Structure 1
Amino acid sequence: MLKLVVQGFAVALFLHALLGVVFAADFNRLNIWPMPQSVSHGDQILYLSKTFELRTEGSKYLDPSGILKDGFSRLLNILQAAHVIDGNLPNFQQSVLLQGINVVISSPNDMLQYGIDESYKLSVPANGKPVYAHLEAQTVYGALHGLQTFSQLCHFNSTTRVLELHQVPWNIIDQPRFSYRGLLIDTSRHYQPLPMIKKVIDSMVYSKLNVLHWHIVDSQSFPLEIPSYPKLWNGAYSISERYTMADAAEIVSYAQRRGINVLAEIDVPGHALSWGTGYPALWPSKDCQQPLDVSNEFTFKVIDGILSDFSKIFKFKFIHLGGDEVDTSCWGLTPHVRSWLKKHGLNESEAYQYFVLRAQKIAISHGYDIINWEETFNNFGNKLSQRTVVHNWLGAGVAKRVVAAGLRCIVSNQDKWYLDHLDTMWPEFYMNEPLANITDLKQQKLVIGGEVCMWGEHIDGSDIEQTIWPRAAAAAERLWTPYDKLAKDPRKVTGRLAHFRCLLNQRGVAAAPLAGPGRVAPKEPGSCFTQ
């Protein structure tokens, strides 16, 4: 019965979009995604000058790394990608030409780290001599968000063949609701080539997500080079399906220049079968190969070596150590591990706790705070380091218990925010509330954000984009936009999200139609805006 109700809701949304929304000529609709904190606008039109330029008059930020300049170049590229801009602008009066954008950044520092100020203020006046848009931000990363919002205000007019700004003047004040707004990709179940990872990063920028959770390795494969233990990547599927440390550094740099942190994950002690391909001593035995051998000091030396190598590349505050779905029966079935357990007075459950806590200490020694999947909290939450962030995935109600215990939490409950669950449609992504049933303000602050998860069992380079988008964008607005500005009924944002999905298509992102489950194909000929 529930499935029929959900399917019926999808049909209703589809009909709503089909019958009630005509976007291409409707410039009165506020088509910004995610919705900013505060927006006001008028009803006039400006035309972008062919020499539209970046200015930084009054800015303390001198752009030593070229981050702002590159962001502006990307802005021009996405504005010009969909059409040939060949209109005859000199025929327009100078008073209606937008000459450029002046960006004023308060902080001279461009170090990207967790909790950085991502706020911005964007204004576009209706007239001036000359006319310039104005963007203010505390950091260059807030300015990058402002440029993304500006890009959504611009439209190509196929009659004049120029770029136009409608609804001028604009005044936008904006900042994120949550500091952690993540997307997980899984490169163990299927290898993702570097160009595709970069495409995912680019598409994250458009919806203002700011953490790429890279689930690098798992039981199936170990594709990453670890210089301290070079045989680990013997567990890769093939020689060509590997990442060098230089590749990893390139991904981190590429993301950082776009305001996105990369969260690296090694999942221990479970989900680690592939580790033993290169180092069989990590297996309890040849016949019982996971979880990792808790009784072997070599296991922890390898974890230390991995995290030492990671610390040179992955500069984000957090490291993800997994800790989920650990079946400890292998330890009890292996004679030498069983003997070790007896010697140390531990049962299998206590050994699981010992392993997780020891791995946490190793991560802390390398300067990291730790993220663990929720099983660690469910089993021994009061023993976890206070530097732990608990990653909820099994279901609702966990976040409330985590923050009541004084720990931080990230929400990814699988019934709502797992992208590989193709039957979970975008309205459910949109309505999933990280702070559900958490009323204490201090405890609310311990929920640092949320993450949608693109697990890779049935995902590779051929279908990852249309499985992520546009459902991830629905969650992105939940994580960015103030709670009181979020729609209480997802049908009220159908048109705006459909517009954003078409914008993703225009920018080369293979985002699927809204009408239907994840990765659905268009049902029939028609406008992008009605699918």
Structure 2
Amino acid sequence: EPFGPPGGGARPPQPFVHPTATGSLSGVVVSVKEVEPPLQMGVDESYELTVPSSSGTVQISAQTTWGALRALERLSQLTWWTGKGTAFTVFSCVITDSPRFSHRGVLVDTARHFMPLPSIKMAIDSLVYSFYSVFHWHIVDDQSFPYVSTTFPELSAEGAFDENHIYSQKDVADVLQYAHERGIRVLIEFDTPGHTASWGVSHPELLVPCYTNGKPNGARYGANPLLNSTFEFMGKFFAEVASVFPDDYVHVGGDELSLGQGSCWTTNPDMQAWMKAHGETDYAALENVYEQRFVNVVSATNKSLIGWQELFDNGINLPSDFVVNVWKGGWQEEMSKVTAKFRTVLSSPYYENYIENPYSNSGDWMGYYTTEPLNFTGTAEQKARVMGCETSFWAEYIDSTNFFSRAWPRAAASGERFWSDASVNDPVEASGRLHAHRCRLVARGIPAEPVEGPSFCRDEYDVQYNPPF
């Protein structure tokens, strides 16, 4: 269970009685067998933490550096101020621990609303505090293209909101280094063929021209599946992505392409001609043409791929190591299908950008907490293919002003389930831990919102405001 002793309480406050100290600690000894092995999906994060009941040293042993980092975070959450000078108390314990799921992610969308670099670093720190392991960076979308490409710099020069709302190569390297030092993987996502309007600002030839009454109407939509030049462009771009982002996996999107009657693709004469020549009536066939060639292009960069569930649903010939990111409703049935062949990451029940949980009537964070990700029909082998889960914070109505209060401590409730054994699932028991963790986040400078009604934290959050006049 990730959350330690309380730092506040409900009204009327109940005094927290500190145990009587039985000795003093002289230091922390950390033993690691593998120093900084590649930080990739499935890396060993196990550890053993021993705090003696009398004087001595705290002992941490871990297989990897990343497990040792988790142990140090756990130790910090077992430590609290006594209220007297610089004296701190630590719970005496022996903990043997490891995560239930390797992939414990938070998706942050920086395309619909830009998030400045200090806020991204603060977000990464908040992941560490709640035992997450993956920063899923949804970096571009229809609305803006803030990533500064060295191969195609015009993408951000023309596709970003403006010249100040960009992530330079130096910024990206800074984020990658910052996350790595804290044991957080950065999973980058560039979504195609839909969600590509910002790509088309500088490269309109990438997108399909739209028609009205047989004439071009000036709009364009979706990466063009009929042009070899589309895939030549994607090959060059994703070769750069593969060289910049060190994770074994890149997220290739693949969701929400609009193909309904009257949509752009269905009105384009070139697309219509292809459909007629191939005897097709469902334009999803053209989407599959794109996705199959695209998957092959990105796979050639020696990256493994993760993508939204449409790539599986549409019957694309996917690589054997492909990870399907399940995000739609009816996730139990989808998980049963996907895990028959592929590994998966579950996002569907954890869309926490909503102010209230739309998928549960059992309370906001409690709805997320009580969701059991392996609650689908499947064999033990199938359930072993679930690599983990993600909470998502889509940014239509989120930026740095409200991300942290929207995310925390609600996402911490999900994070506890992603880390802990399946038997740790009682929201009533978790309630006190969540309030304590909320106070811990506040004390560390994260403006986590209250979730338990009237309450207080010993260290309340205080905005450092400097009046402009």
**Same topology, TM > 0.5:** yes
Q: Give deviations 1:403-443, integer Å, cap 9, x for gaps.
A: 44311111111xx3111111111101111111012452111
Query: Which amino acid in the other structure matches residue 62 of structure 2?
Result: A
Partner of 1:37 in structure 2? none
Looking at structure 1, the residues matched to 323 and 91 of structure 2 have their Cα atoms a distance apart, in angstroms, of 43
Match of 1:367 among 295, 302, 312: 302
Partner of 1:274 in structure 2? 198
Query: Which amino acid in the other structure matches residue 143 of structure 1?
Result: A
Higher alpha-carbon deviation: 279-288 or 350-359: 279-288
Partner of 2:74 in structure 1? 149
- Residue 44 of structure 1 and its aligned partner are, at CA, apart by 5.2
Partner of 2:175 in structure 1? 251
Query: Which amino acid in the other structure matches residue 151 of structure 1?
Result: S
Looking at structure 1, the residues matched to 334 and 30 of structure 2 have their Cα atoms a distance apart, in angstroms, of 39
Query: Which amino acid in the other structure matches residue 25 of structure 1?
Result: F
Partner of 2:45 in structure 1? 118
Looking at structure 2, the residues matched to 496 and 21 of structure 1 have their Cα atoms a distance apart, in angstroms, of 16
Mapped contact 1:403–1:447 kept (Cα < 8 A)? no
Partner of 1:205 in structure 2? 128
1:116-515 alignment runs, 5 A limit: 116-128=43-55, 131-158=56-83, 160-168=84-92, 170-233=93-156, 234-285=158-209, 287-328=218-259, 329-343=263-277, 346=280, 347-380=282-315, 383-395=317-329, 396-413=331-348, 416-424=349-357, 425-484=364-423, 486-487=424-425, 489-515=426-452
Query: Which amino acid in the other structure matches residue 436 of structure 2?
Result: H
Query: Which amino acid in the other structure matches residue 226 of structure 2?
Result: S
RMSD: 2.1
* Structure with higher helix content: 1
Mapped contact 1:214–1:262 kept (Cα < 8 A)? yes
Mapped contact 2:312–2:338 kept (Cα < 8 A)? no
Mapped contact 1:377–1:402 kept (Cα < 8 A)? no
Looking at structure 2, the residues matched to 196 and 469 of structure 1 have their Cα atoms a distance apart, in angstroms, of 14
Partner of 2:16 in structure 1? 25
Mapped contact 2:409–2:449 kept (Cα < 8 A)? yes
Looking at structure 2, the residues matched to 438 and 529 of structure 1 have their Cα atoms a distance apart, in angstroms, of 46
Looking at structure 1, the residues matched to 315 and 79 of structure 2 have their Cα atoms a distance apart, in angstroms, of 52
Residue 527, structure 1, aligned to residue 456, structure 2: yes
Mapped contact 1:407–1:446 kept (Cα < 8 A)? yes
Query: Which amino acid in the other structure matches residue 497 of structure 1?
Result: L
Task: State the identity as a percent.
Answer: 34
Change in Cα spacing, 1:163 to 1:148, as seen in structure 2 (3 Å) is farther
Looking at structure 1, the residues matched to 390 and 436 of structure 2 have their Cα atoms a distance apart, in angstroms, of 23
- Residue 319 of structure 1 and its aligned partner are, at CA, apart by 1.1
Looking at structure 1, the residues matched to 292 and 221 of structure 2 have their Cα atoms a distance apart, in angstroms, of 18
- Residue 379 of structure 1 and its aligned partner are, at CA, apart by 2.7
Looking at structure 1, the residues matched to 428 and 459 of structure 2 have their Cα atoms a distance apart, in angstroms, of 14
Looking at structure 1, the residues matched to 135 and 13 of structure 2 have their Cα atoms a distance apart, in angstroms, of 33
Mapped contact 1:180–1:449 kept (Cα < 8 A)? yes
Query: Which amino acid in the other structure matches residue 230 of structure 2?
Result: T
- TM-score normalised by structure 1 residue count: 0.78
- Residue 98 of structure 1 and its aligned partner are, at CA, apart by 1.1
What SS class does the counterpart of residue 508 from structure 1 fall into?
Answer: coil
Looking at structure 1, the residues matched to 380 and 393 of structure 2 have their Cα atoms a distance apart, in angstroms, of 31
Looking at structure 1, the residues matched to 399 and 121 of structure 2 have their Cα atoms a distance apart, in angstroms, of 14
Mapped contact 2:189–2:251 kept (Cα < 8 A)? yes
Looking at structure 1, the residues matched to 167 and 90 of structure 2 have their Cα atoms a distance apart, in angstroms, of 45
Match of 1:106 among 25, 29, 33: 33
Looking at structure 1, the residues matched to 46 and 199 of structure 2 have their Cα atoms a distance apart, in angstroms, of 42
Looking at structure 2, the residues matched to 351 and 385 of structure 1 have their Cα atoms a distance apart, in angstroms, of 20
Count of residues in correspondence between the two structures = 433
1:25-44 alignment runs, 5 A limit: 25-27=16-18
Higher alpha-carbon deviation: 144-153 or 109-118: 109-118
What SS class does the counterpart of residue 171 from structure 1 fall into?
Answer: strand
Mapped contact 1:124–1:132 kept (Cα < 8 A)? yes
Query: Which amino acid in the other structure matches residue 492 of structure 1?
Result: E
- Residue 109 of structure 1 and its aligned partner are, at CA, apart by 4.0
Higher alpha-carbon deviation: 306-315 or 184-193: 306-315
Looking at structure 1, the residues matched to 277 and 399 of structure 2 have their Cα atoms a distance apart, in angstroms, of 46
What SS class does the counterpart of residue 122 from structure 1 fall into?
Answer: strand
- Residue 166 of structure 1 and its aligned partner are, at CA, apart by 4.2
- TM-score normalised by structure 2 residue count: 0.87
Change in Cα spacing, 1:399 to 1:151, as seen in structure 2 (3 Å) is farther
Looking at structure 2, the residues matched to 443 and 150 of structure 1 have their Cα atoms a distance apart, in angstroms, of 35
Looking at structure 1, the residues matched to 396 and 374 of structure 2 have their Cα atoms a distance apart, in angstroms, of 30
Q: Give deviations 1:357-414, integer Å, cap 9, x for gaps.
A: 2211112111122111112222326x3332221111112314433344311111111x
Change in Cα spacing, 1:142 to 1:319, as seen in structure 2 (3 Å) is same
What SS class does the counterpart of residue 482 from structure 1 fall into?
Answer: coil
- Residue 184 of structure 1 and its aligned partner are, at CA, apart by 0.2
